[in-house]
Amino acid sequence: MTTSPNTKSADGDCSELAESRRKEAKRRSLRPVNEHFSSTINAESANSKQSLVKNSKGQNSRQTKATSQPHDSASTHVSGLSEYVDDRPEMQNELHCAVIYSTEAHARILSIDASECNTLDGFVDIITAADVHHNCWGPIFKDQPILAKDVVQYYGEIVAVVAAKTLAIAKLAAKRVKVCYEPLDCTMSIQEAISKRLFIGGERKIQRGDPYAKGPHQVTGKLIIQGADHFYLESNAVVVYPRENRLLEVHSSSQHPTETQHVVAEACGLAFSDVICIVKRLGGGFGGKESQAAPIAAYCALMAHKTNRPCRLILTKDDDMIITGKRNPFEIFYDCTFQDDGAIISLDAKLYSDAGAYADLSTAIMERAMLHCDNAYFIPNIFITGQVCKTNHHPHTAFRGFGGPKGVALIELIMEKIAIQISIDALNVRKRNMYRPSFDITHYGQRVENNMLPSLFESLEKECHYKARRKEISDWNRSHQSTIKGLSLTAVKFGISFTTRFLNQGNALVNIHRDGSVQVSTGAVEMGQGVNQRIATLVSSELGVPVDLVRMLSTSTERNANTSPTAASSGTDINGAAALKAIGLIKERLAKLAAILSKTPKEQWPSQTAGLGTAPEIELASPINPESKELKNKLDYECLFSDGQVIVRHHSSINTQPAFSIKFSDLVNEAYLSRISVCEYSHFKIENLGFNKITGQGQAFLYFTQGVAASEVEICRYTGDVKVRRVDILMDLGRPINEALDIGQVTGAFVQGMGWVTTENLVYNKKGLLLTHSPSTYKIPNIQDTPREFNVHLIDNDGNQANFKGTKAVGEPPLLLGISVWTAIQNALSSSPKHLQLEKIPATNEVILRAMHPDLGWTI
């Protein structure tokens, strides 16, 4: 548990209380060990981190800092003290809200009758579309009503919201609201939408070379990818407090506080400045709360605005799963030609996705799927088309990896099918096609800089003893009747940054207090991934102070406006860079002050004279501009911030005095007494992005996070049950900010991806009701499903110059390595000459069993 000292002694030293807190934090920061995993990382990088610290001349000096800090909320999580939205104390006059949603997939609303609610003691009010000031929203296309007005377009669409004095009465009132519908024609599948030409947006295309180039071999087929639920532990939740002068204070479980603020304001007929959205933390998001948390907040805000009373809306797990959209289902038709050695000649792929009833983020998801159809492989001739389909399902939305997993699943399936057709190892096919020197331009025209794929493939093949295990598995499959095994080694090359250019911006507010403690506020949302701890680590390293002196504040639109969602693996990139930029401005001022103090007798320092005004105030000679080369060249000193000290070294030929050192907290206090600001707000944008969405060409990403995974599975021939026996992962994360958190992200993302491709099966009835809307019917991985042997390593890579500090994002990329479990299942099935091709995700036990026994007349 990390704390910030709140008291100071007269001379600026931290109090004994603060010192004891830091010692306690150090004692508690031991990394827990779980014997179920054998996760390891490179020993050298685990023990130290080379972090760049700019001195006053803008030069880079290095300091070594430990990088495996615990999650900032680790101790409060395990002790039950972490505060989520629903943990906020209930106010005396607070109302509880409940939603009424459609029980038809597509129908005309004939009437909404709430007359029976009036007989309930404690029932307060109901809102419908008539109460919404601006009843239209959408993160890309404004096509979705906040509350359905005349027509409902999916089972679960909200038509009304009731409020009562207690939650029990609110739920009872919701059941008493009678809604009459006239059913309309439904579209419940991608194929139906294609036949009816029900599309959202136009068809997108990316092309290079001749996609119809012929070759000696060909694989064709259709890949079906079903949706998946985010299954965050905290369901969507919101509490709204009406404040004076029409102000609404919204506490929401949202990944995008700015969008939530805007949607709430428009729904209530308020200016954006009349709404404050605050997010302390989420109990998981995974993309499911990027856009769809906004209308849920609006339901509660509308009631609070109408009644002028605090309101609370907490969805149950069942209602949350029924109402909210999932990972987009896809159907992909492909035709690939290749050489005798497995080298791909051409790929023609047609991607169709199910958006559900409204656009949400589906067009952007389709775009990323198209951009990742190459994954780690150079394809000389390629033609990718993408079309988003409109159906009467809940609007599907962002999910960890966005559309990337769909494109990667396609090309990795093709690699397996090529290997089977020409009877060679699939790993050899992958290595033959991987990006390498002279073959490093993507189909959208971006060069793969800092390409680590060749070394990643080579290293993991050796470290996991791939060749020896391949032989052992072949022997096993020949000699065992009850189970078969499979092994597959796949890769990921995941583009980092939003492909919508204007989203690649962030801002940060940094306040340094007189005791040397620091408060940082950014647009990043902490949802368990550790973004707060990463940014705190960056800040502490840059200022040379202990990380427990850095307090990360809740995400709030009143401190950080117009921010982007915490998504696309860019939370640390854009917000951490903004924080460092703000700190750079503060450090320039402090460095100049330190240089002046080094030449000033201590009795003339502001701390000795400012109170009585006995000496002139220290003023900085000219405005400080950290980007000004002319100014830096004039400086005759350099300044180092390290270990709680600020050290000034003069290097002028005229000045020969020794290095000057002052405590960081003392320097901050001197700055305050000199009326020099030690607070700063800064804006950051990612440069050199230029992807043209019309032509499908350009610099789509700032850099690529890369990795490889080898997965071994064992399948029961009689039940189709899959056991993941061993997984080895090798990731390139550049120069990690915090290895411990990164390992956690890699393992967690992989297991989530593994669940997506194996057990997580969504089942709907004919009306579009999700039947698998609870933990008892929807199977996510548990501890028994995780790999029996799980090895995770991070490589050393100082070559990533694109991102600050040489780091690479980790949030989404490892999820795509979970596809290696699916391809390992493919590999196991291929040991049977009569098996069916497995071209479906998820590969549930039933699907696998049918693929193993086509002689029984089963179909997949």
pLDDT at 59: 34
Q: What is the pLDDT of residues 289-339, one digit of tens each?
A: 999 999 999 999 999 999 999 999 999 999 999 999 999 999 999 999 999
Q: What is the pLDDT of residues 755-771, one digit of tens each?
A: 999 999 999 999 999 99
pLDDT at 40: 37
Q: What is the pLDDT of residues 495-526, one digit of tens each?
A: 999 999 999 999 999 999 999 999 999 999 99
Q: How confident is the model at residue 99 (pLDDT cuts 50, 70, 90)?
A: very high
Q: What does R_g of the chain's alpha carbons equal in angstroms?
A: 29
What are the φ/ψ torsions at residue 725 (nearest 5 degrees)? -80, -40
- Across the beta sheet with 645-650, the strand order is 637-642, 645-650, 660-663
Length of the chain in residues, anyone? 860
Residue 171 has pLDDT above 70, yes or no: yes
The answer to whether the CB of 160 falls within 8 A of the CB of 177 is yes
- Can you name the residues that pair with 475 across neighbouring β-strands? none
pLDDT at 653: 47
3-class SS letters over 38-78:
CCCCCHHHHHCEEEEEECCCCCEEEEEECCCCCCCCHHHHH
pLDDT at 655: 54
Residue spans per domain, the chain:
7-16+507-552+567-685, 42-58+449-496+697-860, 86-186+230-323
Q: What is the pLDDT of residues 176-197, one digit of tens each?
A: 999 999 999 999 999 999 999 9
Residues serving a catalytic function are 812
Decide which of 1.10.8.640, 3.40.50.11540, 3.30.420.40, 3.30.365.10 is the CATH code for 42-58+449-496+697-860. 3.30.365.10
In the block, residue with structure tokens 């000033």: 600
pLDDT at 637: 87
Q: Which fold has domain 86-186+230-323?
A: Aldehyde Oxidoreductase; domain 4 (3.30.365)
* Lowest model confidence (mean pLDDT) among 381-390, 532-541, 846-855: 846-855
How far apart (Å, rounded) are the C-alpha atoms in residues 829 and 838? 8
Average pLDDT over residues 361-368: 98
What does the mean pLDDT of the chain come to? 91
Antiparallel, parallel or unpaired: β 275-279 and 248-252: parallel
pLDDT at 779: 97
pLDDT at 68: 83
Q: What is the pLDDT of residues 71-88, one digit of tens each?
A: 999 999 999 999 999 999
Q: How confident is the model at residue 657 (pLDDT cuts 50, 70, 90)?
A: low
pLDDT at 603: 96
pLDDT at 650: 86
Average pLDDT over residues 208-220: 95
Residue 659 has pLDDT above 70, yes or no: yes
Structure tokens that stand for 407 in this block: 């494109």
What is the CATH code for 7-16+507-552+567-685? 3.30.365.10
pLDDT at 858: 73
pTM summary value: 0.91
Question: Do 42-58+449-496+697-860 and 86-186+230-323 come out as alike in CATH topology?
Answer: yes
Q: What is the pLDDT of residues 578-628, one digit of tens each?
A: 999 999 999 999 999 999 999 999 999 999 999 999 999 999 976 555 555
Average pLDDT over residues 818-836: 93
Q: How confident is the model at residue 658 (pLDDT cuts 50, 70, 90)?
A: confident
In the block, residue with structure tokens 């000045």: 655
Residue 635 has pLDDT above 80, yes or no: no
Residue 5 has pLDDT above 80, yes or no: no
User: What are the start-end ranges of the H helices in 706-788?
Assistant: 739-758
Q: In the chain, pLDDT over 70 holds for what percent of residues? A: 90
Q: What is the pLDDT of residues 416-427, one digit of tens each?
A: 999 999 999 999
In the block, residue with structure tokens 């919201």: 161
Average pLDDT over residues 635-645: 92
Residue 108 has pLDDT above 60, yes or no: yes
pLDDT at 4: 35
pLDDT at 53: 29
pLDDT at 291: 98
